[in-house]
Structure formats: structure tokens, C-alpha cells
Amino acid sequence: MIISFLIVIIGIIPLVLAISVLKIYKGSELSYALLFYMLSISFWQIDIAVLYLKGVISEELILWLFKFFRAGPTFMIPLVFYLSYVTVKKHSAYIKDNQFYRPLVSIFNRKVLVLLVVWSTFVFIVNLTDYGIIGLKEVQIRNMHGSFYFPEYGPLQSLYVFHTASFVIFIVFSYFISKYIQNIYLKGFLGTFSFCSFLLFLSGLLNFVPGTGALYSSFGVIIFSVIIIFSFVKMNTMMTISYNQLLERQKKLDYTGNLTASLVHEVKNSLQIIKGYSKLMSELTSLPDQGKHMNEMIQIAADQLHELTLNYTKYIKYKSIEFKMFDLNEIIDQAIELSKEVLTENSVEISFEKKYKTLKAYVNDTYIKQVFVNLIKNSLEAIPHDRKVRRIVLSTLVEGDRIIIDIVDTGKGVPLENWEAIFDPFISFKKEGLGLGLPFIKKIIFEHRGDIKIVDSSHNGTHFQIILPQYVFSDFYTH
């Protein structure tokens, strides 16, 4: 009786912790998933506790209670899947592209979740019959004075063993996925959850061994449940801090927006002078051919800057961007042409691998052109002076209704923990950087209903990927 009471108290601990967390983080789907998971652990412990009630209640009632509360360990499999599914579904954008891990991530979907719930229900129903558990037998506890009931399994017990073993499979899946989540807080939580759940499973195996008792596995429940809850609270605390920091940066960005309006006005005045003198230079008959080419580039750059200031003015005034149908091939070519001089000065090769005659997209050409100019500039600045291979490669791909643009350089790379931070305003890892270039790019791509992310980065270079919606089919090259 005392052992049973002690196990029940231990079993309630995970549930109390999860309820406390739920009160703190109301509305979080992940906290609800964690609550159900902890509830299944509590059911598991109560399931074991009833086996120590010999002489307190009837053997028939103990058997019924054991079968009923076995729902806890039975439904732990879909619950651990559900918790991982919530993490992946809500934060799939943070998962790094990889030929092996992307298919693994695709397993965590609603259809598989429903299938697991149905399968677990079937296993539980079998457990309620004599095919699962025939009855109970009395077993002496090793190294202790006392005994408890141990279940006598039916002919379909192997079904339950197989079902329990699948718990390890999904835990391993979750652990591997956690390694490729870019958000360090989510990565830490899912990794800790997977590791602790695996250790919890190992301690639970003792329950299948007659005579070992249940206190050993119950101690494991206390330790691992506390660690999981602590990891969850830590993750939410750190993400809240990051969110508050982002709000502070946004306030600075709003203030910067007001300054930008004044700056744009002054730039427009200076730009009129540049364009005026450039036009006068083009009329000089004594200007050599090389000078004429340079003057043409000045005019092109001035026109780009003029269009950019006009767009900025409209955006600041109306908070909207004008979109038209353009060929992305032409826009990228123009961005490369604008960047050619600085690329030549830094001895950086650039190539654009075209796979389509036209690559139609509904965009603002001025903004998108500036996006590529900024990305090319960032890439060449990331290439060390002593790097032998100095190259930037742009390529395009159409997948369904998405246009995928890859920009790969041979720079020094971006550390994994900074893959998200570099897109936040006022965060720069350059000595004289303001931290506004990549946030501008992110914002413009977002306004185009697209996304930009780092796919891969190491000391050999960085791979940026832009995804834009495609509304008109593009023409393939014919070779």
C-alpha cells in the first residue's frame, strides 16, 4: 500500500509540472502537447501503482484498472509524435535543407498522426481483452519483503511489444531532426526532450522484468520529467527575451524610417545634379569611347537610384509597393551589370546559370534589382582577400508555383547560430556595418510573398536561397 501511494505521488509530479507550465504559457500548442505527454507518464505510473494494491482491493478490480491505465504508455507513441509534429509544423522554416533530413521531416504530418492514433487505439482495445492480458500473478520483489501482481500476457502480447518499440523509432527521428533546426532554443528543447524520453523508455523496460519492482523506473520519471519541463521553460524564456529584443530593434527601425524620409529628399536633390552633369558629359564630342561607357554606367546607376528613391517615397507615404510582370533573368543581368565594376576591383568572378528563356514573376523590378545588388555586394565582401577561388554563382529553378533563386559564394561563411540573426535589423558582424542590408532584403522579399534563408554555410562559402511565387509559366531553354 505504501509503495503504491509513493508511485502515485511520483506519477503526479509530471502532470503538476505540465499544468503549471500551461498556466504560464497559455495558448501555446506546444505546451498542450507537453501536457498530454506528461499526462500519459502519470497514467503509466498509476498503471504500475495499482499492481501494489494486493489485499486492498479485489484482484479483478486491480486487473481492470491495470488494463485501463495502460492507455498511458500505449498512447505515449502518438503523443511523442504529436509533440515533434507541432515543433516541425510551427517551425519548419527553421529546418535546414538536406537531401536526407527533408524526407525525414515530411514524415511528421497530420495523416501519419491520425494513423498512429487509430493504431494505438487498436492496440489498447486488444490490451483490454484476453488476447493482450490474461490475468495477474503474484511475484516476490527482489531484495525486499513483499510481493506485487505482475500481468500474465496473452497471445498478442508481441503486438504491444512492437508498438512500444516504435516509441524508440520516433524518438530517434525527433533527435535527428533537432540537429537540423536552426533556431538554437527549439533545437535545444527537442534534443533534450528526445534524449530524456529515450532514457525514460530504458528505465521503463524494468517494468517488463518480474521481480524488479517499479520504484527504479519511477525515480527515472522524476529526474527526466523535471529536466524536460526545465528545458521547455528555458526555451520559452529565451525566445521571449529574443522577441523583446526584436521589439526594441523595431522601435529603432521605425525611428530610422523617419530619418530615411529626410535622407531620401536630400539624395533626390543631389541625384538631379549627378544626372544633369552626366547628360552634359554625354554631349561632349571630345569624350573618348571608354569615358562614354563609364558615363553610361553612371547614368544607369543614377536611374536605378532615382527609381529607388521614388519607390521609397511611395512606400513611406502609402505603405505599399507597386508590382508588375517582369523577367527575372533581365533583372538579375542588370544587377550583375551594376555590380561589375566593384566585382572586377575585388577580382571576383560572377556567373548566372540561366535555365529558362524567360523567368516571369510579379515583382517590383527596382526593389528586386536592389536585392540582388545588395546580395552580390554582401557575397563579395564575405570573400577573404587571400581566398584563391573567388566566385559568386546565381542559378534559378522553377518548382510548381515557386521560383527558387540560389546565390552561392566562396566567402568565409556564417556560423549556424547567426543564420537567423543576420536578418534582424541593427545586427552586423562587419566592423563598419549598420546591420540594415539583409533586413532590407528580407523585408522586400517578404513584401513579395516570398522568403530568403541560408541553406548552407561553412568556411568554404555560403548558400542563400530566395523563394518567390510564380504566376506565369516560364519558357525552358531548348538544347
Q: Determine the residue type at 454.
A: I
CB atoms within 10 A of CB 267: 16
Query: Has residue 247 got a pLDDT over 80?
Result: no
In this structure, are residues 424 and 394 in contact, taking their beta carbons and an 8 Å threshold? no
Q: State the Cα–Cα distance between residues 263 and 122, nearest whole angstrom.
A: 68
Report pLDDT for 314: 55
Q: State the Cα–Cα distance between residues 229 and 168, nearest whole angstrom.
A: 20
Query: Has residue 3 got a pLDDT over 80?
Result: no
pLDDT band at 31 (very low <50, low <70, confident <90, very high): confident
Taking alpha carbons only, the member of 145, 206, 197 closest to residue 171 is: 197
**pLDDT tens-digit readout, 256-315:** 555 555 555 556 556 666 767 677 677 776 777 777 777 777 777 777 676 666 655 555
Identify which has the larger pLDDT, 156 or 48.
156
Phi, psi of 7 (to 5 degrees): -65, -40
CA of 145: how far to CAs of 227, 377, 455, 460, in Å? 33, 77, 61, 66
Taking alpha carbons only, the member of 327, 360, 319, 308 closest to residue 447 is: 319
Taking alpha carbons only, the member of 347, 465, 332 closest to residue 407 is: 465
Residue range 2-245 in CATH 1.20.1070: yes
Identify which has the larger pLDDT, 318 or 366.
366
Report pLDDT for 64: 92
Query: Has residue 122 got a pLDDT over 70?
Result: yes
- Single pTM value for the model: 0.51
Return the ∠ at Cα 321 (arms to 319 and 327), rounded to 5°: 170
- For 359, half-sphere exposure in the C-beta direction (CA atoms, 13 angstrom radius) is 23
pLDDT band at 464 (very low <50, low <70, confident <90, very high): very high
**pLDDT tens-digit readout, 350-362:** 999 988 888 888 8
Query: Has residue 331 got a pLDDT over 90?
Result: yes
Mean pLDDT of 218-238: 76
Q: State the Cα–Cα distance between residues 272 and 374, nearest whole angstrom.
A: 23
What is the share, in percent, of the chain residues with pLDDT greater than 70?
Answer: 71
Residue 374, C-beta contacts closer than 8 angstroms, at least 6 positions apart: 437, 438, 440, 441
CA of 346: how far to CAs of 130, 132, 294, 389, 390, in Å? 78, 73, 18, 12, 9
pLDDT band at 15 (very low <50, low <70, confident <90, very high): confident
- Of 71-75, 211-215, 379-383, least confident by mean pLDDT is 211-215
Residue 404, C-beta contacts closer than 8 angstroms, at least 6 positions apart: 396, 397, 398, 465, 466, 467
pLDDT band at 471 (very low <50, low <70, confident <90, very high): low
Sketch the domain layout of the chain as residue ranges: 2-245, 323-476
Taking alpha carbons only, the member of 140, 316, 107 closest to residue 212 is: 140
Most confident of 60-69, 86-95, 145-154, 297-306: 60-69
Report pLDDT for 153: 86
Q: CA torsion sign, 360 to 364 to 369 to 371?
A: negative
What single string gives the DSSP state of each residue in 352-415?
EE--EEE-EEEE-HHHHHHHHHHHHHHHHHHS-TT-S--EEEEEEEEETTEEEEEEEE-S----
In this structure, are residues 463 and 457 in contact, taking their beta carbons and an 8 Å threshold? yes
Most confident of 97-101, 112-116, 184-188: 112-116
Q: State the Cα–Cα distance between residues 421 and 246, nearest whole angstrom.
A: 10
Report pLDDT for 474: 47
Report pLDDT for 362: 87
CA R_g for the chain:
31
Report pLDDT for 115: 93
Report pLDDT for 478: 37
Query: Has residue 46 got a pLDDT over 50?
Result: yes
| Helix and strand numbers, DSSP H then E, in the chain | 13, 11
**pLDDT tens-digit readout, 148-175:** 778 888 899 888 888 888 888 888 877 8
Quickly name the fold that domain 323-476 has.
Heat Shock Protein 90 (3.30.565)
Average pLDDT along the chain: 77
- Using DSSP's 3-state secondary structure scheme, residue 428 falls into coil
Query: Has residue 462 got a pLDDT over 50?
Result: yes
